[in-house]
Amino acid sequence: MFRRIFLSFWAGLVLILVIGVGVTLAVTSARLHALDGVSSARLTQEARAAGRDGTDALQRWVRRTEARYPTLRVFLVDPQGRELLGRRLPVRLRDWAGLNLAQTVAQWQALRTEALPGAASAHRRAPVPVPDSWWNVPAVESAGGAVHFALFLPFDSSAYEVLGVPYVLVLLFLCAVLVSGAICWVVARHITRPLLAVQHGLRGLAGGALDARLGPALAGRRDELGALAADFNATAQRLQELVSAQERLLRDVSHELRSPLARLRLALELARRDRQGPAAQLDRIERECDRLEGLTGQVLRLARLRDPQPVRGQPLDLAALVGDTLADVAYEAEATGKAVAWQAPPAAVPLQGVAAELSSMLENVVRNALRFTPPGGRVDVSLQADAAQVRIAVRDRGPGIAPELLGQVFTAFFQADPARAGGHAGAGLGLSIAQRVAQRHGGDIRLANRPGGGLVVEITLPR
């Protein structure tokens, strides 16, 4: 990529240089040769012929001549230094005319006097010679006796004469190539250097170095390459978090599985020793197997819900779904002396979603609230909806959670204080599953401690 960018920029600049020099030379040559075949003597004759028709005709001739020859300017100045069209003379002509115009006028008057020796010849014109150089000042008489002196300013080629020297063009070309090459090298290096750094970082990630990051000098740039470096760092950080979470999940799963397996071995050993009454040990084995089955199901469910793609659900009535889910949970809660209070909305709440996932999400949240609610307590559930979203609030009357632990409750296998659970064991996966379901439906879950005690869990879902 470096070679491609470098050579592309360089070739482009060289091409522009060649085209520019060629066009400049062509234009310069055309301007230098624009007056070929044009002489001051012929122009003087044309001016004198136009002057016979008066001053207005002479003015028209000046304008017509300058339009015909863009590289030539013609100024007609009277003996007092006033230009026929009222224009200011260029500086070089003004300085030159100030030194030579008076002398030219005197010479013209002397020639005219010599050509008119007597009063009888008063109406004869002086035979003023026609000049053969651009820098002579011919006299142009017009009808009525007015006289003007012609000042010709042909194209000044002195600034372009240097281009005619062969080695000058070669030096200009080499200088342009070297300068453009150096600039293109710097630009190409400026672009490809960060890309090489990103490539090195990607190879580090592929090799397992999840802590690979691009430096602040690159990530802090205010251009597309800086944005690429910032995205790389964010991606690497996210990958490291995901891998760390995966490793932590495996450790937690192995820890959670180790306890029931140990109890299973103990129950089997006791069953072998107690040959007359193994029924109690078999019941114990059955409970541990059920626990293992439930834990495995939750882990698999959490793994399936890791898909970040949003779900494509079916239309459903969220109010009816919440009511049916809470009816089953409330029936189980009555056995422990607890209650679930449900405030149903007055009308149906249509929503797009997966009914099984939404029901599981609400069930996990409410079961978690009942787990920390003391006997005789109550869990309140409410549903509010507007045009943009729906909010499900679950409020318990348990001990709450320490503020510094609120950000960790959705971590898999996290348990703030198992001792507060009232003797109900849990793996710490319910809220993690509930959060994944809400996120897959485009929503979120937030927790907060209630001022009077307990915890409020708010589920927000878009309409």
Rounded to 10 deg, the angle between the 430-440 and 355-372 helix axes is 150
Q: How far is CA 366 from CA 55, 209, 440, 449, in A?
A: 108, 41, 19, 16
Give me the residue label for tokens 């089953």.
328
Distance CA 435, CA 5 (A): 48
Rounded Cα distance, 8 and 16, in Å: 12
* Cα 303 versus chain centre, distance: 36
| Dist CA 149 CA 140 (whole Å) | 6
Task: Exactly one of 33, 190, 255, 424 is catalytic; name it.
Answer: 255
Q: Would you call 255 a catalytic residue per the annotation?
A: yes
How far apart CA 418 and CA 405 sit, in angstroms, is 14
DSSP 105-136: HHHHHHHHHHH--SGGGTTPPP-PPPP-STTS
Contact call for residues 133 and 40 (beta carbons, < 8 A) = yes
* Axis crossing angle, helix 279-304 with helix 430-440, rounded to the nearest 10: 30
Strand partners, 392: 383, 459
The length of the chain in residues reads: 463
Q: How far apart are CA 122 and CA 317, in angstroms?
A: 121
Distances, alpha carbon 254 to alpha carbons 111, 150, 413, 432, in Å: 125, 109, 11, 18
What are the residues facing 342 on neighbouring strands?
Answer: 381
Report how far residue 361's alpha carbon sits from residue 301's, in angstroms, rounded to the nearest whole number.
Answer: 12
Round to whole Å and give the CA distance between 54 and 48: 10
H/E stretch holding 433? helix 430-440
E-strand stretches of 202-282: none
Chain centroid to Cα 381, Å, comes to 46
- DSSP type of residue 364: H
What is the residue whose two structure tokens read 């909806």? 385
Structure tokens at 249: 């999940």
Angle between helices 166-206 and 2-32 (to 10 degrees): 160
Which positions are annotated as active-site residues?
A: 255
